[in-house]
Chain A
Amino acid sequence: DAKTTQPPSMDCAEGRAANLPCNHSTISGNEYVYWYRQIHSQGPQYIIHGLKNNETNEMASLIITEDRKSSTLILPHATLRDTAVYYCIVRVYNQGGKLIFGQGTELSVKP
Chain B
Amino acid sequence: EPEVTQTPSHQVTQMGQEVILRCVPISNHLYFYWYRQILGQKVEFLVSFYNNEISEKSEIFDDQFSVERPDGSNFTLKIRSTKLEDSAMYFCASSEEAGKTTNEKLFFGSGTQLSVL
Q: Are B104 and A43 touching (Cβ within 8 A)? A: no
Interface assignment of A68: CB less than 8 Å from any CB of chain B: no
Q: Are A43 and B91 touching (Cβ within 8 A)? A: yes
CB within 8 A of A98: which of B33, B37, B101, B107? B33
Q: Which of A40-72 contact B (CB under 8 A)?
A: 41-46, 49
Known: A96-B48, A98-B45, A100-B45. A44 touches B91 (CB 8 A): yes
Which residue among A41, A43, A46 has the maximum number of chain B CB atoms within 10 Å of its CB?
A: A43
Number of A-B contacts (CB under 8 A): 63
Interface assignment of B110: CB less than 8 Å from any CB of chain A: yes
Which residue among A34, A49, A95 has the maximum number of chain B CB atoms within 10 Å of its CB?
A: A95
Per DSSP, chain A at the interface is: loop
Q: Are A43 and B96 touching (Cβ within 8 A)? A: no
Total number of A residues with any Cβ neighbor in B under 8 Å? 25
A-side interface residues toward B, CB under 8 Å? 32, 34, 36, 38, 41-46, 49, 87, 91, 93-104
B-side interface residues toward A, CB under 8 Å? 4, 30-31, 33, 35, 37, 42-45, 48, 50, 55-56, 89, 91, 93, 95-96, 101, 103-111
